[in-house]
Structure 1
Amino acid sequence: MNPDLNATIIVQAIMSGSAPSSSPFLVPQFSLKDYGSFFTAGALCCTITHGGMTPIDVVKTRIQVDPALARHSLLSGGRYIVANEGPRALLTGFGPTAVGYLVQGGAKFAGYEYWKKAFVQVAGDQESAVKYRTAIYLGAASVAEFFADILLTPLEATRIRLVSERGYASGLVTGFTRLTREEGVRGLYSGFLPILCKQIPYAIGQFTVNEFCHELAFRSMSEETRRTLSPTSKFTISLGSGIIAGFAAAILSHPADTLLSQINKGHGPEGSMAHRLTILAKQAGIRGLFAGLGPRMVMTAGLVSGQFLLYGIIKDAMGAPPGLEIHKE
């Protein structure tokens, strides 16, 4: 969502009973260049934030898969890793993280812009678009994330191997090459189902909760107040909405995130992925599935809020058009 409300095209609800149901849409017609700008802004905001969060992600993943760290907090787990493996261990997996979320972030943000616009047009009129805006948010986030995860899964599998198995490889290229050589395409995509279970709820929390947080903030303001918001006020609303959306994304996706780490480490019985996930979930229990949630909530709040802020800034710098918002007035 573009934080600049004045530059944002809004599909508004006509709340009076006399409003016609065929109110014309205020829907932008994005070009390929526009979608290229959305992709670039999404790619940069995701690779910058995820790359910067690598040390926290390393500690979180190790808490999930290493029994020696299972009861550690973020700080104590980080101290343990540094003391035993050195500071460089906290940057393990930086390469696949940066590259993976470069392609995934671009596809996710551009895809969300595309599918949200498409579903708004399918709704048929303004009132229907606003009435079913929750379904539009959920559908756009889910479809965009599905295609983005096709690009992300092999690199995420490589990252988790590098983090969870000391000495597995020296970096992105060697890790990806070893995984491909030893396990083939099946190994690269062994985590596709759990990553969908993780990333789709993550995207739903990220985009849908952020949309509604902005709506709640703006609903209490007059049109004149919104148009004259100071940069500080806009920043505060975007930051607060992103943090809340980050908490929601972490909670919704954490059980699958834990299972993904286990799958990529080679845990679980043989059989179909659904069978393996079921057995691993039973073995972990509720407490095990939510191991490492605290560090991940901190990480995800920073990721999501940072991504939305950077996405808007980069789009503006590139001269990209504003996004489409569907707010109930």
Structure 2
Amino acid sequence: MTTTAGSKLDAAISNVKAEVKPAPTGFDLYSRFALAGAICCSVTHGGLTPVDVVKTRIQLDPVTYNNGMIGGFRKVIANEGAGALLTGAGPTFAGYFLQGAFKFGGYEFFKQQSINYLGTETARNNRTMVYIASAASAEFFADIALCPLEATRIRLVSEPTFANGLIGGFSKIMKQEGLGAFYSGFGPILFKQVPYTCAKFVVYEKVVEAVYRQVDKSKTSDGMQTVINLGSGLVAGFAAAIISQPADTMLSKINKTKGLPGEGTISRLVKIAGELGLRGSFAGLPTRLFMVGTLTAGQFAIYGDVKAYLGARGGVEIAK
């Protein structure tokens, strides 16, 4: 009887072990981070396309769109119909799906590489620099993927009659202007996105760390963790929006039209900066604060939930 009972117990333990899947590691783990990042960025950016349309119009034509976000919505609808608010939705969704995969997956990857290189304790003591370096590295590769689709989006928004959607706009730019036209805004997009992403991740990490100093993370429910991610993401979004606003305005301007023959990107940026001035560089900031705060909060909430669903909980943690 004892032998039989022991055999049954051993068999039960073996069955339980077989059912428990090992935690993902390596490429499997980072691909889950990347998928979670792709979903959170494409959903949030795609969902806020109407706000982005109004924000871009304010930046490109502040004389006409001079009544703030609500007034901008009314003018777009009155002049072009409600459908115009979805202009560029295709390239927005596709572009930020790719960008989100590289950004969030890359951030976790480069953070782990920094820890491997520095050692856990050194990385923990210098975690702000680790966050900045990891975010900047991830964003560089993310922008290579994003830039062509962002250029297409801005052209569709700034010139509503340019083409009929993502495929038409992308093909027309490629045919008429060549591959280089997609990367005419690569400098300003780096100038905008790298500080934005560094601020976004650093502020988020710091706020979350401060919250969990007061609250035991192991005792918080999944719902409360989502709320914490939302609140931390909102604060991070506001900080990131303010830091990157001038470059965002310049990006909209440089992608609106082709440069003059022989005119380089740097000379175009200098000229645009001179035309805008400090005040013009922050045109559309209230609308962008609303947009970026909302989407960043949503991104971190969705990212955390999707990671948990995919079995990639936690990420790379070096917070004290």
Partner of 2:59: 64
From 250, 258, 261, give the equivalent of 2:249. Answer: 258
Q: Is the 8 A contact 2:110 2:138 kept in 1?
A: yes
Any gaps of 5 or more consecutive residues in structure 1? 1-27
From 41, 47, 54, give the equivalent of 1:52. Answer: 47
- Secondary structure of 1:326's counterpart equals coil
Q: Is the 8 A contact 1:63 1:72 kept in 2?
A: no
From 222, 234, 259, give the equivalent of 2:225. Answer: 234
Cα shift at 1:321: 4.3
Cα shift at 1:322: 2.8
Q: Is the 8 A contact 1:92 1:162 kept in 2?
A: yes
Q: Percent identity?
A: 49
Q: Are 2:35 and 1:43 aligned?
A: no
Q: Deviations over 1:90-139 (max 9, x none)?
A: 0000000000001111111100010001111211241x112210110000
Q: Deviations over 1:246-303 (max 9, x none)?
A: 0011111111110000000127766221221112111101110000011011000111
* In 1, Cα distance between equivalents of 2:165 and 2:188: 24
Distance 1:63 1:268, change over 3 A: farther
Distance 1:213 1:94, change over 3 A: same
- Secondary structure of 2:317's counterpart equals strand
Partner of 2:237: 246
Higher relative contact order, chain-length normalized (CA < 8 Å, sep 6+): 1
Any gaps of 5 or more consecutive residues in structure 2? 1-22
Partner of 1:24: none
* In 1, Cα distance between equivalents of 2:277 and 2:317: 40
Partner of 1:104: 99
Moved more, 58-67 or 313-322: 313-322
Partner of 2:302: 310
Superposition CA RMSD, Å:
1.6
Q: Are 2:48 and 1:91 aligned?
A: no
Cα shift at 1:319: 1.9
Partner of 1:139: 133
Q: Is the 8 A contact 2:120 2:318 kept in 1?
A: no
Cα shift at 1:69: 3.2
Q: Is the 8 A contact 2:106 2:138 kept in 1?
A: yes
Output the TM-score relative to the length of structure 2: 0.89
Distance 1:125 1:39, change over 3 A: closer
* In 1, Cα distance between equivalents of 2:24 and 2:33: 14
Partner of 1:271: 263
From 195, 203, 217, give the equivalent of 1:201. Answer: 195
Q: Is the 8 A contact 1:268 1:280 kept in 2?
A: no
From 288, 293, 314, give the equivalent of 2:285. Answer: 293
Compare the two structures and name the one with the higher helix fraction: 2
* In 1, Cα distance between equivalents of 2:243 and 2:35: 27
* In 1, Cα distance between equivalents of 2:25 and 2:197: 22
Partner of 1:160: 154
Amino acid at match of 1:76: G
Moved more, 76-85 or 199-208: 199-208
Partner of 1:13: none
- Secondary structure of 1:323's counterpart equals coil
* In 1, Cα distance between equivalents of 2:310 and 2:218: 22
* In 2, Cα distance between equivalents of 1:217 and 1:67: 40
